[in-house]
Amino acid sequence: MPAEMTEDTPRARIVTLPGVYAPQHDTRLLMAALDKEGVRPGTDVLDLGTGSGALALHAAQLGARVTAVDISWRAVMTARLNALLRRRRITVQRSDLLASLPGHSYDLVICNPPYVPSPLGRLPGHGAARAWDAGRDGRAIIDRLCETVPVALRPGGRLLIVHSGLCDSNVTLRRLSEAGLSARVTERAFVPLGPVLRSRLHWLRDRGLLNAGDMLEELVVIRAEHS
């Protein structure tokens, strides 16, 4: 097995099937936040919208019992494949966020959701854009998370979510607070605009989401805790 696939390489290369979101800046930022959460053997972790499974596998490497879900069958198969290649045991199943997990609760929920503002008025039902397009304000999935995740957290449980500053992190903080969680921004980074945002520059500028000349995107990790 090539070195980048070995089980003890913490940030080993991940296989991604066509149409599945490959680990990028946001994945690495959320992974850094995950490293600070004191995950240990016996910690129950849920990875919502697992994509390639990169974050789920990192949590498993830290010792957690991991459940990973995604609405895309191709993502589910990709995460299972990566678990086999990395020789890590994680439970991967298809689910629209928490829909297939009624009554389950976790110590830690992590999520890198779709969050890119889109000129389309609807969410894509299939294809690669399903992993990033999230309505005209980029909040279609984030707002659902703010509403539904608190019931899946045990007392003292935590949520880590990464998204773009284009989605207004203050709205996320307020909605999580209204749901009874204590929330704050713990990680922040500025990264070059990716190809999707570059393709929408004029639209984003017309909406006031980017200023003329802006070529960096702010990413934030929000940490919310159940009291």
Question: Per residue in 129-171, pLDDT tens?
Answer: 999 999 999 999 999 999 999 999 999 999 999 999 999 999 9
Structural domain for 216, as ranges: 3-226
Report whether 50 contacts 56 (CB < 8 A): yes
Tell the residue number behind the tokens 């979101």, with chain if given. 21
Provide mean pLDDT across the span 5-18: 63
pLDDT tens, 15-69?
Answer: 999 999 999 999 999 999 999 999 999 999 999 999 999 999 999 999 999 999 9
What phi and psi values does residue 98 have, to the nearest 5 degrees? -95, 5
DSSP state for residue 59 in the 8-state scheme: H
Q: Which residue is it, tokens 């802006």?
A: 214
CATH code, domain carrying 133: 3.40.50.150
What is the pLDDT at residue 2?
Answer: 27
Least confident range from 105-119, 124-138, 171-185: namely 124-138
Question: Is residue 10 very low, low, confident or very high in pLDDT (cuts 50, 70, 90)?
Answer: very low
19 Cβ neighbours under 8 A, 6+ residues apart: 72, 74, 127, 128
Give the C-alpha separation, 223 to 225, whole Å. Answer: 7
Concatenated DSSP letters for 134-163?
--TTS-HHHHHHHHHGGGGEEEEEEEEEEE
Report CA torsion sign: 16, 45, 142, 205: negative
- When divided into structural domains, the chain yields a total of 1
Residue 3 confidence (pLDDT): 25
6 or 87: which carries more pLDDT confidence? 87
Would you say 119 and 140 are in contact if contact means Cβ atoms under 8 Å apart? Answer: no
Q: Which residues contact residue 3 at a Cβ distance below 8 angstroms, ignoring those fewer than 6 apart?
A: 9
Distance of CA 184 to the CA centre of its chain: 17
* pLDDT value at residue 122: 86
Instruction: Name the pTM for this structure.
Output: 0.92
Residue 12: pLDDT above 90? no
The residue to which tokens 């309505």 are assigned: 135
Average pLDDT, the chain: 93
